[in-house]
Chain A
Amino acid sequence: MGISLKIDLHMHTTVSDGTDTPEEIVARVREAGINVFSVTDHDAVKACRIIPALVGEGLFYVTGAEFSTRDEAGKYHILGYGFDPDSAPIRELTETGHGNRMKKVRARLDFLKEEFGFVFPENEIEKLLAQDNPGKPHIGNLMVKYGYAETKRKAIEEYINRRHFASEYIRPEYAIERILAGGGVPVLAHPTYGDGDQLILGEEMEGRLKKLAGFGLQGVECFYSGFSPRMTRDMLAFAERFGFYVTAGSDYHGANKMVVLGDTGLDLADETPERLKSFLERCGLRLS
């Protein structure tokens, strides 16, 4: 292989909760010297239709999305890669996820109105709902704009979080099955952190992986901006035992999170792991 790989397979745009537009993120990827990348917005594939036209020479792009799922035992973020965004199974999956989110946004807006009397102009609500994946940060921004809160953080902590809304969630087996049916590779995102702020280790991790493997999971995100070297080491050992593909992602969100694009911890590895190479080959990258 002539050129060295710089890989980041996990990042978000304005299609979900990132702050860079798809156009901006492609420019940033180039600036960061990344040559293999995927954009993985939450429950949305809009970027998958925009980005291919922006990718020129020297960049390898993999279609992607990150699905929030849940079952009785907990929450899981399932990444899908290399699928056909226009296939029926993927459309169905994103519509379900998007539908669930929209229901929740409407419920939150109703709550803010009833509880605190916060009202927003019709056109703002329309704009909000027209976004690909509106969530708490978007509502928070709106509250700041209309003077109901000083900062987005205060808006979320002091008002939006006052009531918890049970969401209708996608189950992991459903997400995995749909990704596979759409021609994609299902991968468990940041396994050690669960859906973000958990800590899943040892036997608990093993139980999760066993279950998800049974549903058809094919990979695990072993390199991640928030992982310590030890977490990466442990996850690589699990990948070996379960025969999973290995992926690497930063979870860059632009200005929303202090994560540097391309920071996956992969630079600390002596060489690109074979299971990551075979993942990229599965996604169509010719390495030899």
Chain B
Amino acid sequence: MNADTVKIKLFGRIDSNNAAETEEKIFAQIPGAETQSVVFDASELEYISSAGLRVILRLKKTCPDVSITGVNSEVYEILDMTGFTEMLTVEKAYRVVSVEGCEEIGRGANGTIYRIDRDNVVKVYNNADALADIQHEREVAKLALILGIPTAISYDVVKVGETYGSVFELLNARSFSKIIAAEPEKLDWCVGEYVRMLKTIHGTVVPEGKLPDMRETAISWARFMLDYLPEAAGKKLLAMVEAIPRDDHMIHGDYHTKNLELQNDEVLIIDMDTLAVGNPIFELASMYNSYVGFYDVDREAIKKFQGYDYDTAQAFWHKTLAAYLGTNCKAKLREVEDKAAVIGYMRLVRRTIRRGGAETEKGRAELECWRVKLLELLDRTDSLVFSFNELEIEAVPENLDDVQAFVGERLEAAECPMKAQMQISVAVEEIFVNIASNAYAPDKGSATVRVEVSGDPVTVTITFVDRGVPYDPLAKEDPDVTLSAEERGIGGLGIFMTKKIMDDVAYEYRDGKNILTLKKNI
């Protein structure tokens, strides 16, 4: 506010009885006119009639910069209906709401949500200067709604104690946390709806620049971690986070069962302030923390927050992951969970350090637990990217069953005939055992198996990738099957059978990787 600003307080009612008098008083307080700016404090103005509006209009004609603050809702409505909000800066007064004794229905990174009556909830922000945050959340929620995500938009900003809150209409809604806690038999139904909403969010492309990029945030976390991890582990983590490709699809950022509400028959997602764009692994990471990571040390704590117990949370999380990935293959589930956990633990460690958690006993215990878990995970994880049709697994012979299960599940899903499935499984065994035995010996390493089903007629393509010693299995001469078993050299029969079973087999060595592609027309 500059020195030329005149501040005038308005009281009571301004109507035809006192408009002329009010006008005289107002103009008497404005010495120079023209260049002045006038701020009306309307916090004690109860009502304004059209005669009062005309007083303000006349002032506006001589003084271009007029604003009104602390406007009550009745006066605001009049100013809005008559187009005065288009002409002047009008700031509403904030209704005062108390959340004392109100039921807490959600808690997120930036605030806590309380139900204030049957039809309304208020999100109270932690930050005292939350008006910008409230505006941000309103904007992103609107954006999400426009993009087709069912959510609630706040309709009012209120004052709650020293901070602010935004009010939403949630008609008699129940959170998924409550449903799961009260009616365990509905767990599977909740998983289904939860995953459906998650897929809708992850399937939504966000116009560039509208939401923050989660990848950049995660890179900054990984940089932070360099000081708290052994050098090699820190560098590996940063490299893996940086290798996650940019993605313009939406992620919610705090997707747990308290933020999903069932209103009548409609599922709504709330608490939108963490909305971002990014690879879905970032979402899975925050979900992992919500059900697993956060409660590693204190398993009882989840009951206080979600209302259901740790075992229920584990069941919910694993069923969710399986439904989301469309697989029951344990190896696949473990692979994605590991990747999510890497980012999840990175976040938990950073958060605890940043919040001075190392100064409390519980904080130290958690920090140690999470740091150890992170280091273990970093040891066995080479990439944080996952694909629905790819399995990344340690290349050891014991894992053959997992690989077979994963490939079999994909082929089954593609309605591949039984005979072809069995033939393909013979080829998969040959190739995987070959990699497991030779690629990294005597060390260990991982292999990736990708299954693609495409085209008409249908072609199944299975690709094996490993980072072991360069080795082209096709270069080996085919065995002479006309000779008797005793007369043949050892080995080579597996590859021979694979070539026979499949319609095309190709090998290449690229970017330090052995890539073997098998194709079969069905």
Q: Which residues of A are at the interface with B, using a C-beta cutoff of 8 A?
A: 153, 157, 192-193, 196-199, 201, 226-231, 233-234, 258-260, 263
CA distance A153 to B22 in the complex (A): 12
Contact flags B39-68 to A (C-beta < 8 A → 1, else 0): 000000000011101100110010000000
**CB distance A230 to B53 under 8 Å?**
no
Contact B17–A198 (Cβ < 8 Å): no
Most central of A196, A197, A198, A234 by chain B CB within 10 Å: A197
Docked Cα-Cα span, A153 to B17, in Å, equals 10
- Do A196 and B61 have beta carbons less than 8 Å apart? no
Taking the nearest CB of chain B, how far is it from the CB of A3, in angstroms? 25
Interface residue B163 (Cβ < 8 Å from any Cβ of A):
no
A258 to B87 CA separation, bound complex (whole angstroms):
20
Q: Does B171 contact A (CB under 8 A)?
A: no
**Can you name 25 A-B pairs with beta carbons within 8 Å?**
A153-B20, A153-B21, A157-B17, A197-B49, A197-B51, A198-B50, A199-B49, A199-B50, A199-B53, A199-B81, A199-B82, A201-B82, A226-B50, A226-B57, A227-B57, A228-B53, A228-B57, A228-B83, A228-B84, A229-B87, A230-B82, A230-B83, A230-B86, A231-B82, A260-B61
Task: Determine whether B16 belongs to the interface, using a CB cutoff of 8 Å to chain A.
Answer: yes
Closest to A257 in B: B20
Contact between B87 and A228, CB atoms less than 8 A apart? yes
CB distance from B21 to the nearest CB of A (A): 7
**A196: which of B16, B78, B86 is its contact (CB, 8 Å)?**
B16
Q: Which residues of A contact B83 (CB under 8 A)?
A: 228-231, 233-234
Asked if B409 is an interface residue, CB under 8 A from chain A, the answer is no
* Other contacts beyond A197-B15, A198-B50, A231-B83: 9, CB < 8 A: A157-B17, A196-B16, A197-B49, A228-B84, A229-B83, A230-B82, A230-B83, A231-B82, A259-B58
Residues in A whose Cβ lies below 8 Å from that of B54: 226
Q: Is B23 an interface residue (CB 8 A)?
A: yes
Chain B residue nearest to A259 (CB atoms) is: B58
Q: Identify the closest chain B residue to A157 (Cβ).
A: B17
Question: Please, which residues of chain A bring their CB within 8 A of the CB of B78?
Answer: 199
CB–CB B16/A228 < 8 A: no
With A153-B21, A197-B16, A258-B58 as given contacts, are A229 and B86 in contact (CB-CB < 8 Å)?
A: yes
List chain B positions with a Cβ less than 8 A from chain A.
15-17, 20-21, 23, 49-51, 53-54, 57-58, 61, 78, 81-84, 86-87
Chain B nearest CB: distance from A167 CB in Å? 17
The distance in angstroms between the C-alpha atoms of A234 and B87, with both chains bound, is 15
A201 to B78, CA, bound (A): 11
Residue of A nearest to B23 (CB): A258
B27 (CB) vs chain A CBs: closest residue: A258
How far is A198 from B78 in the complex, measured between Cα atoms in Å? Answer: 12
CA distance A157 to B81 in the complex (A): 30
Assess the A196–B51 pair: CB atoms within 8 A: yes
Interface centre among B17, B58, B83, B87 (most CB of A within 10 A): B83
* Residues of chain A with a CB closer than 8 A to B53's CB: 199, 226, 228
Give the 10 A-B CB pairs with smallest separation, nearest first. A230-B83, A197-B16, A228-B83, A226-B54, A197-B51, A199-B50, A193-B50, A197-B50, A197-B49, A228-B84
Asked if B81 contacts A201 (CB within 8 A), the reply is: yes
Q: Distance in Å from the Cβ of B25 to the closest Cβ of chain A? A: 13
In angstroms, how far is the closest chain B Cβ from the Cβ of A17?
A: 13
Instruction: List residues of chain B with CB within 8 A of the CB of A153.
Output: 20-21
Shortest A190–chain B CB gap in Å is 9
- A263: chain B residues at CB < 8 Å are 61
Bound-complex Cα distance A157 to B63 (A): 30
Q: Name the residue of chain A whose CB is nearest to the CB of B55.
A: A258
Closest to B86 in A: A230
Bound CA–CA A228/B80 (angstroms):
11
Residues of B within 8 A of A196 (CB): 16, 50-51
B430 CB, min distance to chain A CBs, angstroms: 78
**Min CB gap B381→A, angstroms:** 61
Chain B residues whose CB sits within 8 angstroms of the CB of A157 once the complex forms: 17
Q: In the complex the two chains form, what is the Cα distance from A157 to B21 in whole Å?
A: 12
**Shortest distance in angstroms between A280's beta carbon and chain B's nearest beta carbon?**
25
Inter-chain contacts of A197 with B (CB < 8 A): 15-16, 49-51
How distant is A233 from chain B, measured CB to nearest CB, in Å?
A: 7
How far does the Cβ of B26 sit from chain A's closest Cβ, in whole Å?
A: 11
- B58 neighbours in A (Cβ, 8 Å): 258-259
A258 CB contacts on chain B under 8 angstroms: 23, 58
Measured between beta carbons, the chain B residues less than 8 angstroms from A226 are 50, 53-54, 57
Closest to B21 in A: A153
Q: How far apart sit A233 and B82, CA to CA, in the bound complex (Å)?
A: 11
Chain B nearest CB, measured from A211 CB (Å): 21
Closest residue of B by beta carbon distance from A229: B83
Which residues of the other chain, B, contact A230 by a CB distance below 8 angstroms?
Answer: 82-84, 86-87
Chain B residues, Cβ within 8 Å of A228: 53, 57, 82-84, 86-87
Per the bound structure, the CA–CA distance linking A259 and B23 in Å amounts to 12
- Kindly provide the distance from the CB of B412 to the nearest chain A CB, expressed in whole angstroms: 62
Expressed in whole angstroms, the Cα–Cα distance for A201 and B53 within the complex equals 15
Q: Quick one: closest A residue to B57, CB to CB? A: A226
B185 to chain A, nearest CB (A): 51
In the assembly, what is the distance between CA of A226 and CA of B16, in Å? 14
Bound state CA distance, A19 and B11, in angstroms?
31
CA distance A157 to B17 in the complex (A): 8
